[in-house]
């Protein structure tokens, strides 16, 4: 009867429990959209290298998708983490009847293992498309259109030669990486504040809101900086990220592991219900 | 190894300033069936949650299987079976899938017993949890707690939504578990006839504290209701020290008390110049008398 390891059993369980994510058309649409967005810059630049309007529309749409996706992920992280490993009040809404936290929390299940299984499930099915998106945009930016490649490989002295389109594409990659990093940082933040949020309704609300508010402010400042500044102020950052995309992805995964272990320790101190 | 599988000392727990459990002192012997009684809101569920490590204590000490449940390892949890009052199982899972999932975490999982109880409760393993009635879901929860072969089984209102037949079957399964040496069951219930049928020790909780904890036989033997009547000079000034309850009219007094000394009643009657008669109480009467004032 016991054919599976506890970890695989928990991953399987979380897949079943998270049917709101996998059974939700909006979530599927967003996941597919994020992946599709990854492929489109390269494709568009390959087919329409001289059509700035087409690319601009695509970039706007891709940014909007990313914003939605990140919002959902952050809400997911915050709800899960603030309520502890067992909490699953999803932004996609789980009816109370579907909440079997108490049952799970009183079985002989290692809490850390359960949380790790849940994170693995989230990571593979939700964060992975974001990282794929990042990798594909960066590869596209470096390889396909000559204008983008010249921008990515440009030195500060020659950066004035960079084309606006190239900057837009590389900027897309930067945004995606920053978005993935934001998810990991949000997880760390909610793990950090989870101790103080337990059982305190108003404080929980404030702590819950602080993460997205700070992230929103950071995003606003970033966008202001991007739109107001000349390209040569933003270009070095964007270029650095696109040029070192692989190392940055590895760094992000390493950060995610550290944050995960930190959160596991925090949850061991928390009440389940 | 301690004689007691559960021991608490001055346990307290509050929620937003409301004291749900206070100075809670409980001792449950190994191998016993402990019936845990109390009115709604008495603090039973909070106390049970403290015992299974779902909640942290504010003050006091709790020892279950010799350890603080908050520090339970996976191995410790394998020794404690628990069915909560409002346990919700994964609604989309089939019964057999849920059994397979749960069995993964228990090396001593008893598949044979699982099959037997499934058949006894007439549960269809191919059905999804959400397709089962409330009582059937409760039976699945009970089955999952039982098949792990726990040393200690804690059941919070296990028979609440069961029909009479299912309740009887549940009681028989609990008794079957107890036939194995060293197994202990603590269960809370409002169905006092069930408690009376199987429990050998009783704890009665009121206002967050354990008002009484002792063997059922001793309880029924010593707690009595006494009607004092034919007072020579009225009931004014009539008091009984340590009475659980005292109700007076101008002509008679009804007292619920513990009788440990046979000379107590004649002495009281002589002192207040009245007659008395003793009424024997069942568990339900004792329970009502003890908690009514709380």
pLDDT digits (tens, 9 = 90+) for B96-116: 999 999 999 999 899 998 998
A143-152, B38-47, B116-125, B155-164: least confident range: A143-152
| Mean pLDDT to the nearest integer, B58-71 | 93
Looking at residue B65, what is its pLDDT? 94
DSSP bridge partners of B161 = none
- Whether A108 sits inside 8 A of B77 (CB atoms) is yes
CB B200 within 8 Å of CB B220 = no
Quick one: closest CA in B to A200, which residue?
Answer: B16
Q: Test A1 with B88 for CB contact under 8 angstroms.
A: no
Task: Decide if the complex's ipTM is over 0.85.
Answer: no
Distance from CA of B75 to the nearest CA of A (A): 7
Flag whether residue A13 sits within 8 Å of chain B, measured between CB atoms.
yes
Q: Which of B55, B5, B178 is nearest to A105 (CA)?
A: B55
CB contact under 8 A, A103 and B141: yes
> Among residues 152-171 of chain B, which lie with CB inside 8 Å of chain A?
none
A50 or B198: which carries more pLDDT confidence?
A: B198
The answer for residues whose C-beta is within 8 angstroms of residue B60's C-beta and 6 or more apart is B8, B9, B10, B11, B12, B23, B24
CB atoms within 10 A of CB A87: 19
| Residues facing B18 on adjacent strands | B15
**Is the CB of A109 inside 8 Å of chain B's CB atoms?**
yes
Residue B88 and residue A106: Cβ atoms within 8 Å? no
Do residues A222 and A228 make contact, with C-beta atoms less than 8 angstroms apart? no
Q: Which of these ranges, A48-52, B12-16, B66-70, B250-254, has the smallest mean pLDDT?
A: A48-52
Q: Say if A89 is an interface residue toward chain B (CB within 8 Å).
A: no
pLDDT of residue B165: 85
- What is the rounded average pLDDT of the residues B185-189? 91
Residues B190 and B161: their CA atoms lie apart, in Å, by 11
Q: Is B86 on the interface with A (CB under 8 A)?
A: yes
Residues of B in contact with A272 (CB under 8 A): 54
Looking at the partner chain, which of B75, B89, B104 has a beta carbon nearest the beta carbon of A4?
A: B104
Contacts of A269 in chain B (CB under 8 A): none
Best residue of B58, B90, B145 to probe chain A, by most A CBs closer than 10 Å: B90
**Is B112 within 8 Å of chain A by CB?**
no
On the 0-12 / 13-18 / 19+ scale of CB atoms within 10 A, B193 is: exposed
Q: What is the pTM of this model?
A: 0.77
Confirm or reject contact between B34 and chain A (CB < 8 A). Answer: no
**pLDDT for residue A98:** 45
Both tokens of residue B160? 């609440």
Q: Provide the shortest C-alpha distance from residue B286 to chain A (in Å).
A: 33
How close is the nearest chain B Cα to the Cα of A104, in Å? 9
**Residue numbers in A near B78 (CB within 8 A):** 108
Return the pLDDT at B109: 92
Instruction: Assess B91–A contact: CB distance below 8 Å, yes or no.
Output: yes
The average confidence (pLDDT) of chain B is: 88
pLDDT tens-digit profile, chain A (273 residues): 445 688 888 888 877 666 544 455 555 665 666 656 655 555 555 555 555 555 555 555 556 656 656 666 655 555 555 554 434 333 333 333 346 777 888 888 888 888 788 777 767 766 676 677 677 667 766 655 555 556 556 655 554 444 555 566 666 667 767 777 877 787 788 778 777 765 556 776 777 778 778 877 877 777 666 655 555 566 677 777 777 878 988 998 899 889 888 888 877 777 655
- A49-63, A244-258, B23-37, B51-65: the lowest-pLDDT one: A49-63
**pLDDT over 90 for what percent of chain B?**
45
pLDDT for position B240? 85
B46 interfaces chain A, CB cutoff of 8 Å? no
| Nearest-CA distance A108 → chain B (Å) | 5
Q: Do the Cβ atoms of A108 and B90 come within 8 Å?
A: no
Contacts of B56 in chain A (CB under 8 A): 271
The one-character DSSP state at B77 is H
Q: B100 to chain A: nearest residue by CA? A: A1
d(CA B55, CA B58): 9
Helices and strands, number each (H, E), in chain A = 12, 0
Please report the sign of the dihedral spanned by the C-alpha atoms of residue B60, residue B62, residue B66, residue B67.
negative
Q: Tell me which chain A residue has its CA closest to the CA of residue B154.
A: A106
d(CA B159, CA B162): 5
Q: Over 60: is that where the pLDDT of B219 sits?
A: yes
Nearest to B54 among A106, A108, A199 (CB): A106
Given B74, B80, B109, which is nearest A110 (Cβ)?
A: B74
Q: Which of A9, A19, A98 sits opposite B104 (nearest CB)?
A: A9
All residues at 6 or more sequence positions from B42 whose CB lies less than 8 Å from its CB, including other chains: B205, B206, B207, B208, B291, B294
Q: How far A193 CA sits from the closest chain B CA (Å)?
A: 18
CA distance A215 to chain B (A): 31
Any CB–CB contact under 8 A between B113 and chain A? no
Contact across the interface for A6 and B104, Cβ inside 8 Å: yes
How are beta strands B18-24 and B4-15 bridged, if at all? antiparallel
- Determine whether the interchain pair A98/B88 forms a contact, defined as Cβ–Cβ distance below 8 Å: yes
What is the structure's pLDDT at A89? 34
CB proximity B182 to A under 8 Å = no
**Predicted pLDDT of residue A7:** 87
CB within 8 Å: B90 and A16: yes
């Amino acid at each position: 009867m016991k054919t599976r390891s506890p970890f695989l059993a928990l991953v399987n369980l979380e897949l079943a429990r998270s049917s709101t994510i996998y059974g939700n058309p909006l979530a599927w649409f967003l996941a597919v959209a994020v992946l599709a967005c990854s492929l489109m810059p390269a494709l568009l630049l390959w087919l329409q290298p001289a059509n700035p309007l087409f690319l601009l529309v695509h970039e706007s749409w891709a940014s909007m998708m990313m914003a939605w996706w990140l919002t959902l992920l952050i809400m997911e992280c915050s709800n899960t983490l603030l309520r502890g490993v067992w909490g699953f009040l999803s932004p996609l809404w789980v009816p109370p009847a579907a909440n079997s936290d108490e049952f799970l929390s009183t079985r002989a299940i290692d809490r850390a293992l359960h949380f790790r299984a849940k994170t693995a499930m989230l990571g593979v099915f939700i964060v992975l498309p974001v990282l794929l998106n990042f990798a594909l945009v960066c590869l596209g930016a470096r390889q396909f259109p000559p204008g983008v490649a010249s921008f990515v490989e440009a030195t500060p002295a020659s950066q004035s030669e960079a084309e606006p389109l190239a900057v837009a594409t590389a900027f897309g990659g930067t945004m995606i990486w920053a978005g993935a990093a934001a998810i990991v940082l949000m997880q760390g933040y909610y793990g950090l504040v989870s101790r103080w949020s337990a059982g305190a309704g108003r404080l929980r609300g404030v702590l819950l809101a602080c993460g997205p508010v700070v992230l929103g402010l950071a995003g606003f400042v970033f966008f202001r900086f991007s739109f107001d500044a000349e390209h040569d102020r933003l270009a070095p950052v964007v270029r650095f990220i696109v040029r070192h995309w692989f190392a940055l992805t590895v760094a992000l995964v390493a950060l995610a592991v550290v944050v995960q272990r930190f959160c596991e320790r925090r949850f061991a101190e928390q009440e389940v219900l | 190894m301690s004689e007691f599988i559960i021991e608490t000392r001055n346990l307290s727990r509050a929620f937003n300033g409301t004291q749900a459990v206070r100075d809670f002192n409980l001792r449950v012997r190994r191998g016993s069936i402990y019936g845990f009684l109390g009115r709604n809101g008495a603090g039973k569920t909070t106390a049970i949650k403290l015992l299974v490590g779902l909640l942290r204590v504010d003050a006091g000490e709790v020892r279950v299987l010799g350890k603080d449940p908050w520090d339970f390892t996976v191995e410790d949890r394998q020794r404690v079976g628990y069915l909560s009052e409002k346990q919700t199982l994964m609604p989309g899972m089939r019964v057999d899938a849920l059994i397979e999932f749960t069995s993964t975490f228990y090396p001593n999982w008893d598949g044979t017993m699982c099959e037997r109880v499934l058949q006894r409760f007439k549960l269809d393993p191919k059905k999804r949890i959400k397709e089962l009635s409330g009582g059937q879901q409760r039976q699945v929860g009970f089955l999952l707690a039982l098949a792990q072969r726990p040393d200690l089984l804690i059941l919070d209102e296990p028979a609440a939504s069961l029909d009479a037949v299912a309740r009887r079957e549940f009681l028989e399964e609990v008794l079957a578990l107890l036939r194995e040496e060293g197994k202990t069951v603590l269960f809370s219930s409002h169905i006092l006839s069930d408690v009376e049928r199987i429990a050998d020790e009783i704890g009665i909780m009121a206002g967050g504290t354990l008002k009484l904890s002792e063997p059922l036989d001793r309880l029924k033997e010593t707690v009595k209701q006494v009607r004092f009547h034919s007072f020579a000079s009225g009931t004014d000034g009539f008091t009984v020290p340590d009475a659980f309850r005292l109700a007076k009219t101008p002509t008679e007094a009804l007292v619920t008390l513990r009788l440990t000394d046979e000379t107590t009643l004649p002495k009281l009657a002589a002192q207040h110049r009245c007659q008395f008669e003793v009424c024997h109480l069942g568990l339900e009467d004792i329970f009502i008398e003890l908690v009514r004032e709380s």
